[in-house]
Amino acid sequence: MQVSSRSSDWLDRTLAAVRDAGCAVVKDVLSERQLEVTRAAMYRVRDAIFSSVGADRLRRSGELGVLRLMMQFDTHFFSLLELTPMLAVVDGTVSPTATLHLQNGLLLRSAERDPDRAAARPAPPFHRDFPRVLNRYLMSINCMLALDQFTNANGATRVVLASHQQTDPPDLSDLERRAVSIECPVRSMIVFDSTLWHAAGINRSGADRLAINHQFTRAYLKPQIDYVRALGDKTVLGLPEKTQQLLGWYTRVPASLEDYYRPESERLYRRGQG
Ligand SMILES: O=C(O)CCC(=O)C(=O)O
């Protein structure tokens, strides 16, 4: 299901498709300007992460094309957490108190320019980003921004429709047989239930395929990275309140009795989170 964020019923249709098929595409989520700035920032951050972590360590982890914690390297990435359609989907699925689990830049290189992938792991494996099913209660949602047109040729994400919220894992050949590529225009947002089986495709286009995957969860789950500690109180306090919520400002864990017995208005963990 593909729908433009400019249509009046896009949210209802998106939420219904995510519930029934596990996945939907919302078009026209980023402006041309946001696209241009985000793409340029991703390459700068890629270089900064290379210098900071080291190519060897990234290669050993199979993460040469995965950019984690981009917000620490470029404040532009905070602004993506203010995208109205993305926030509407988060609020409508994992609730207005949800938190960010991850924001990962995905720089899928073309296979012939990526000897690691071509040699060792030609096809990215199918997986679920949230591999637990809790009586079909939605715990986690993904919003992946397409910074290129997604095509079969450049490794569009492959999904197995209606494979979400299943307790028994399907066998691999079944996943391969049922998988469809999410071909969609650049500036779209692919929304999927995080229990949906999916995998990156193989990029054979000769150029990088850029995307940013966001995963949001109910507020009482742990994020992949403790964003408040990683970014620092001063930085987080300078951000809009909704961004603070997403980064876990209202779900910090007290580390002392001093913290625990703060007056309610200053508590690190707000009531009603989740
Ligand atoms: O790059 C893609 O198309 C898929 C990425 C993915 O599977 C993930 O980030 O969990």
The two structure tokens encoding residue 167? 């307790």
CA pseudo-torsion sign 88, 94, 99, 102:
negative
Asked whether residue 273 is domain-assigned, the answer is no
Cα–ligand 1 centroid distance for 267 (angstroms)? 36
Phi/psi region, residue 24 (left: phi>0; alpha: psi -120 to 50; beta: rest), is beta
Query: How far is Cα 222 from Cα 101, in angstroms, rounded to an integer?
Result: 7
Asked whether residue 271 is domain-assigned, the answer is no
Cα–ligand 1 centroid distance for 262 (angstroms)? 41
pLDDT, residue 272, reads: 84
What is the span of the domain harbouring residue 69? 2-266
Asked whether residue 272 is domain-assigned, the answer is no
| The 3-state secondary structure of 140-180, one letter per residue | EEEEEEECCCECCCECCCEECCCCCCCCCCCCHHHHHHHCE
Asked whether residue 236 is domain-assigned, the answer is yes
pLDDT, residue 117, reads: 55
In the chain, the DSSP E strands lie at 2-4, 23-27, 66-67, 99-108, 140-146, 158-159, 180-181, 189-193, 198-199, 209-217
Write the DSSP assignment of 63-96 as a string of letters: -TTEE--HHHH-THHHHGGG-HHHHHHHHHHT-T
Asked whether residue 237 is domain-assigned, the answer is yes
Q: Is the CB of 108 under 6 A from ligand 1?
A: yes
Q: Is the CB of 183 under 6 A from ligand 1?
A: no
Sequence-distant (6+) residues with CB within 8 A of 266 are none
Q: Is the CB of 198 under 6 A from ligand 1?
A: yes
Sequence-distant (6+) residues with CB within 8 A of 108 are 65, 154, 155, 200, 203, 208, 209, 210, 211
Q: Is the CB of 163 under 6 A from ligand 1?
A: no
Find out whether 7 and 88 touch, Cβ atoms under 8 Å.
no
pLDDT, residue 73, reads: 98
Q: Which CATH number is 39's domain given?
A: 2.60.120.620
Number of domains in the chain: 1
Cα–ligand 1 centroid distance for 161 (angstroms)? 15
Cα–ligand 1 centroid distance for 137 (angstroms)? 23
> β-strands 23-27, 2-4: how paired?
parallel
pLDDT in tens, the chain (274 residues): 999 999 999 999 999 999 999 999 999 999 999 999 999 999 999 999 999 999 899 999 988 999 999 999 999 999 999 999 999 999 999 999 999 999 999 999 998 766 555 544 567 899 999 999 999 999 999 999 999 999 999 999 999 999 999 998 788 889 999 999 999 999 999 999 999 999 999 999 999 999 999 999 999 999 999 999 999 999 999 999 999 999 999 999 999 999 999 999 899 998 888 7
Query: How far is Cα 126 from Cα 157, in angstroms, rounded to an integer?
Result: 10
Asked whether residue 106 is domain-assigned, the answer is yes
Enclosing H/E stretch for 236 = helix 233-237
pLDDT, residue 148, reads: 98
pLDDT, residue 114, reads: 67
